[in-house]
Every structure is written in structure tokens, then in C-alpha cells.
Amino acid sequence: MVRHFVSAIMGHWVSLMGVIIAVTCLLMIGLLIGLQMTGFEGGAYLGILTFMLLPMGFAFGLLLIPIGAWLKRKQHAKAMAQHGPEGPPLPIIDLNNDRTRGIVLSSIVVGLLSFVLLAGATYKGVHEMETVAFCGTVCHTVMEPEHTAFLRSAHSKLTCADCHIGAGADWFVKSKISGSWQMVSVAFNLYPTPIATPVHSLRPARDTCEQCHWPTKHVGDKLKVETRFADDEANSMTKTVLLMKVGGQQGVTSTGIHWHTDRGVKVRYLSDMKRENIYDIETTTPDGKVKLFKTDAKPEGPVEWRTMDCVDCHNRPAHVFKPASKEINSAMEDGRIDRTLPFIKREGMRVVTEGKYASKEEARVGIAKEIDGFYKAKYAELATTKATEIKAAAAALGDIYSWNVFPKMKVTWGTYTNHLGHADDSPGCLRCHDKKHKAEDGTRVSGGCKTCHSVLADDEPDPEILATLKP
Ligand code: HEC
Ligand code: HEC
Ligand code: HEC
Ligand code: HEC
Ligand code: HEC
């Protein structure tokens, strides 16, 4: 039995080559996986070698075995006809024979060449799969919200893989496995709408964000000016001026908002699976002191511990879906929407948040019709003298809608909230800084308005501070 099997495999030089190739590849794979398990990080190339090229070589080797066996059978049948039932002796590969040598050498060359070609093609394929175009548009409808927001973000020149995969073999493989599942789920319409936020599967910021942003960089105070327009006929403009205490590490001490992720500081917290409600918070400071803050709130449902990193505040670094009012304020500020159009803020808010449209195209048409209709009914003269401005405003509102609302993916205003601050739709920082988290010594997680910023002007038409700064 075993002898038969072995002789079937070994019987022909093609099978024998197959066995040698397959076994070598297998041993190499084992060796490299072993190496990586002991902590050796070789980068994505090692991953490609371990998980793509060597397996391909292995498959190639395996393929050769049956081919050899088949060739042998053919030989055998021929020999049976010539020599009777005992069959022929094993074939002799005589390398002194010019013909045989030619065949052997050229097979090796051809084999190697096709291996290199195949490998190159696969590598290129894999590389292709990590481009923004592939990630963002191949599964167009599914990734459209994230892709659209990404293109408008400060990170629009990155690739999706920079944050979602990062460097190293293990995450590369993980991404390919989950990517394959994503392909299947897209093909069979199994994906959830909206796509859930990858709270658990996202790679820790240390391996992604911190590859480009040094966590020890001291940002210090950062001035922030926010322009708002009101609901009245004149769209009254006000300014809010904040001095954000971003801080960071300076020498051996670290202060301010970036304190949470500075070296030597560790903040862990217990929360629900969506990280919206935060219960216990544990801090470890550089002096080694550990402190636990607790709340009276009791969790309903499953909870888990997580170590705070950049993404706990910057959860929308690339996919920023802004509230409608912020979008319209900035469009009015930079002139995409003419702020002299009466009630344009109020009407703009109404059409983008209350209108129900089945698609972007329908929304653009509907929004333009509503805005045009409003001015024709209420400001007939203006509707003709400012026809161009009204048209431009409607187009800008159409853009704003199509950047933030994706009916097919059930993504609408407020679906993905931003934790970088405190807003109506998301408590953000106040998940912890609500003065309700208390330690045994009686201290609480700070919550005063001056902890994080000085409010230099709050909704003022003409703040003095700006006149001082920009005389
Ligand atoms: C600057 C880093 C960064 C880049 C670049 C990036 N993402 Fe994200 N992505 C994130 C973070 C952070 C989250 C949310 C994680 C959280 O809230 O825990 C996320 C979430 C997502 C989600 C889940 C749905 C959601 O909005 O929460 C999808 C889908 C997604 N990204 C796709 C993409 C695609 C496609 C690209 C490339 C076009 C891309 N990402 C580029 C950081 C990034
Ligand atoms: C491949 C490099 C790279 C990675 C990875 C990266 N960033 Fe950035 N980040 C940049 C660049 C480049 C800019 C733009 C700087 C500029 O505009 O001056 C930027 C800008 C920013 C800004 C300021 C702009 C804004 O939107 O307010 C923040 C905040 C930020 N990144 C956070 C993050 C976070 C959080 C992550 C991880 C989820 C991350 N970055 C990952 C390169 C990177
Ligand atoms: C506790 C919440 C929090 C954490 C954690 C946090 N940030 Fe920030 N970060 C902020 C806030 C708030 C700002 C100011 C935002 C603004 O401009 O209004 C900011 C600003 C920034 C900026 C812009 C700085 C500038 O010069 O304008 C960058 C870049 C940045 N953070 C990167 C990171 C990175 C990388 C990490 C992880 C190592 C991180 N942040 C962790 C809250 C946080
Ligand atoms: C997971 C809980 C948690 C979240 C979320 C959180 N913080 Fe904190 N923060 C803490 C704890 C705990 C401390 C330490 C106790 C204290 O100083 O109040 C702290 C301290 C601070 C400090 C004082 C640092 C110092 O010592 O100089 C600032 C400023 C701050 N946080 C700002 C923010 C801002 C801004 C956000 C949102 C963008 C935020 N935090 C989100 C838990 C959190
Ligand atoms: C734990 C830190 C923290 C505390 C405490 C805090 N804020 Fe803020 N606040 C922020 C951050 C972060 C932002 C967002 C800045 C940005 O948009 O980048 C913000 C934004 C604001 C804004 C501008 C809002 C907008 O949409 O532009 C105002 C006004 C404001 N805070 C007022 C207050 C007042 C009043 C208090 C006290 C009741 C307070 N904040 C407490 C961190 C804090």
C-alpha cells in the first residue's frame, strides 16, 4: 500500500520535483510563522512571502505530483505493452545525455520564470487591493459614505490601509481574511446598513496614527474660531472663540488634553460595547500611582475594558460627518452660500434635514426646487435679481446633503457621531468629564468649563478678543 503510494509519487521525476517543492515551501512557511510568533516583525513583505508566495509554491508543487503520476501511468501502460506485467525499471535521468539535460534545465528555468511572474502578478494584485480607489469604490455603495468623507478630510492623501491595516504581517493577513468575508457579504447583500464602526477590530492607534503623529509632540494652546449664522432673516453672524488646551508632553511633564495618551500615562475604562456609556475609569500616572474612578450608573448588557488611545477622542479623523448646521455655517462663511439671501440658514437647514429623498440625484433636484420655490413665493423680486446666487446656494446645499446622507446605506445626520468635544448628538469628552466619576479619596474627573478650554467669546457678534488679535 505505502510502497505503491510512494512509488506512484516518486515514480516520475515530475512528481519528485513536485514533492520537493511542496515540502520545501511547507517547511519555509512553518519556519516563518514560527519566527513571527516569537515576535519578529518583518513587515508586509514577509507576510506576502509567508502567506501568498510560499503557499503558491506549495500549490504548484502539489499540482506537479498528479501530473507526474499521470505521466508515469502513461509510461507504465506503454511498458506493459512492451515488457509484460512486471513493468519497466525506474526511468534513468541521465544528465550526460544532452537531450535530458536540456529538458531538465529548461523545465527549471520555465518553472522559475512562471513562479516569478505569478508571484509578481499576485503582489501587484494585492498592492492594487490597498489603493484608495479599490477600497473606496470597488464596493461602491457600501463604502461610499466613508470614501466621500475621507476625500474631504485632512487625511485624503493617505490610503485606507494606513489606518485600517498598518504595517506588519499579522494585520495584513487579518485584513485579507476579513476582506474576503467583506467581498462575500457585498456579493450576497449580507452587510449591515449602516456599516458598524470597527470599535473592536480597529488596529490600536500606536501602530497606525502614531506612525505619523508623535504622541509626545507638544501642541500647546490652540485658538479655535467658529462662525455661526442664526435663523433670522438677516442670518445674523456670531463668533465663538475657544483657546483649546491641547497641551502634550513638555520635558518630563505632560498636561492638557493630550495628557491621556502621553508616555507614562495610561487611562483604561469600562464601557458598553459601543463605548457610549463609560463606567469605571482607571488612570496610571508616570509615578506609578493607580487611581480608580467609579460612577453610580449600573451597566445594562455586556461591558468591556479598553485602553484609551487617539481614536477614543479622534474617532472621526478620516470620516468626518458634520452636523448640518456646521456644514451650512462654513458654506456661508466661505461664500458657497450667499449669506445675504434672507433666511437662507433656516431654509437651508430645513431642506437638508427634513427633506426625504431616495438618492443624491433626487435630493439635488428636490433641494433646488424647494429653495427656488421659497424665494419665488416670499421674495419674488429677489428671485429674479439674485437668481444666480439662489441657484448656487441650492447647489451647495445639494453638495452638503450628498456628503453626509446616504439613503442606500441608511447613513443620515447623526448616524456617526464625533467624540472630539461635546455636542447635542454626542457627549464626547463628557462621557467621562461629567463630574459623576468619583475616586475613593473623593476627587472627581474634572468637569469645569476651564479644564479643556477657555471660552474667550461665546456667540458674540463682534468679539473683542478677535479685534485684539487681528487689529
Ligand atoms: C486617518 C485614518 C483613517 C483612514 C485613512 C481611513 N479610515 Fe476608515 N476609520 C478610521 C477610524 C478611526 C474609524 C472609526 C473607529 C471608531 O470609531 O472606533 C473608521 C471607520 C471606518 C468604517 C466603519 C464605518 C464608520 O464610519 O465608522 C469604514 C467602512 C471605513 N472606516 C472605511 C474606510 C475606507 C474605505 C477608507 C479609505 C477610503 C478609510 N476608511 C480610511 C480611520 C481611518
Ligand atoms: C500615514 C500618515 C498618517 C497616519 C497613519 C495618520 N495621520 Fe493624521 N495626519 C497626517 C497628515 C499628513 C495630516 C495633515 C497635516 C496637515 O494638514 O497639516 C494629518 C492630520 C491630522 C489631524 C489634524 C487635522 C484635523 O483633521 O483636524 C489630526 C487630528 C490627525 N491627523 C489625527 C490622526 C489620527 C487620530 C490617526 C489614526 C487614526 C491619524 N491621524 C493617522 C498623517 C497621518
Ligand atoms: C482626550 C482626547 C484626545 C486624545 C486621547 C488625543 N487627542 Fe489629539 N486632540 C484632541 C483635541 C480636543 C484637539 C484639538 C482639536 C481642535 O483643533 O479643535 C486635538 C488636536 C490634535 C491634533 C492637531 C494639532 C494641531 O497642531 O492642530 C493632532 C495632530 C492630534 N490631536 C493627534 C492626536 C494623536 C496622534 C493622538 C494619539 C496619540 C491624540 N491626538 C490623542 C483630543 C485628543
Ligand atoms: C475615558 C474617559 C475620558 C475621556 C473620554 C476623556 N477624558 Fe479627559 N481625563 C480623564 C481622566 C480620568 C482624567 C484625569 C482626572 C482629571 O484630571 O480630571 C482626565 C484629564 C483630563 C484633562 C486634565 C489633564 C491634566 O492633568 O492636565 C484634560 C484637559 C482633559 N482630560 C480633556 C479631555 C478632553 C478635551 C476630552 C474629549 C476630547 C477628554 N478629556 C476625554 C478621562 C477621560
Ligand atoms: C473635558 C473637556 C471639556 C469640558 C469640561 C468642556 N468642554 Fe467645551 N469643548 C471641548 C472640546 C474638545 C470642544 C470641541 C472643540 C472642537 O470643535 O474642536 C468644545 C467645544 C465647546 C464650544 C464650541 C462648540 C461648537 O460647536 O463650536 C463651546 C461654546 C464650549 N465647548 C463651551 C463649554 C462650556 C460652557 C463648558 C462648561 C459647562 C465646557 N465647554 C466644558 C471640551 C470641553
pLDDT 10s digits, 193-220: 888 887 777 888 988 999 999 877 889 9
Instruction: For residues 397 and 378, state if they share a domain.
Output: yes
Distance of CA 12 to the CA centre of its chain: 50
Least confident of 92-96, 254-258, 410-414, 443-447: 92-96
Nearest-5° angle of CA 182, CA 188, CA 193? Answer: 65
Instruction: For residues 273 and 293, state if they share a domain.
Output: yes
Q: Report pLDDT for 421.
A: 93
Residue 373 within a domain? yes
Q: How far apart are CA 403 and CA 208, in angstroms?
A: 26
Phi and psi dihedrals of 380, rounded to 5? -55, -40
Domain residues for the domain of 266 are 220-229+238-318+430-452
Give the best-scoring range by mean pLDDT among 119-133, 202-216, 341-355, 414-428: 341-355
What would the grid cell of residue 49 be? 512571502
Residue 466 within a domain? no
Cβ-proximal residues to 173 (8 Å cutoff; 6+ apart), any chain: 47, 51
Q: Is the pLDDT of residue 44 over 60?
A: no
Q: Is the peptide bond before 286 cis (omega within 30 degrees of 0)?
A: no
Q: Is the pLDDT of residue 347 over 70?
A: yes
Instruction: For residues 20 and 92, state if they share a domain.
Output: yes
Instruction: For residues 378 and 360, state if they share a domain.
Output: yes
Residue 246 within a domain? yes
Ligand 1: which residue has its CA nearest to atom 35? 136
Instruction: For residues 294 and 436, state if they share a domain.
Output: yes
Residue 68 within a domain? yes
Residue 268 within a domain? yes
Ligand 1, residues at Cβ distance < 6 Å = 132, 135-136, 143, 146-147, 150, 155, 158, 160, 162-164, 195, 197-199, 202, 311, 315, 317-319, 416
Quick count: other Cβ atoms within 10 Å of Cβ 30?
12
What would the grid cell of residue 363 be? 435630493
pTM: 0.83
Ligand 4: which residue has its CA nearest to atom 40? 429
Q: Where are the alpha helices (DSSP H) in 130-237?
A: 132-137, 140-151, 160-164, 169-187, 209-212
Q: 51: which DSSP letter? A: I
Residue 166 within a domain? yes
Of 140, 159, 164, the residue with max ligand 1 atoms within 8 A of its CB, to mutate for a pocket test, comes to 164
Q: How far apart are CA 318 and CA 261, in angstroms?
A: 20
Q: How far apart are CA 270 and CA 256, in angstroms?
A: 22
Q: How far apart are CA 6 and CA 19, in angstroms?
A: 11
Q: What is the DSSP string of 391-455?
A: HHHHHHHHHHHHHH-BGGGTB-TTSS---SS-BTTB-GGGGT-SS--EETTS-B----TTTTEEE
Instruction: For residues 187 and 260, state if they share a domain.
Output: no
Instruction: For residues 360 and 274, state if they share a domain.
Output: no
Residue 351 within a domain? yes
Instruction: For residues 298 and 333, state if they share a domain.
Output: no
Q: Is the pLDDT of residue 245 over 90?
A: yes
Instruction: For residues 332 and 313, state if they share a domain.
Output: no
Fill in the amino acid letter for 137: T
CA 453 to ligand 5 centroid distance, Å: 7
Residue 43 within a domain? yes
For the chain, the domain total comes to 4
Instruction: For residues 330 and 313, state if they share a domain.
Output: no
Instruction: For residues 90 and 173, state if they share a domain.
Output: no
Instruction: For residues 61 and 144, state if they share a domain.
Output: no
* Chain mean pLDDT for the chain: 86
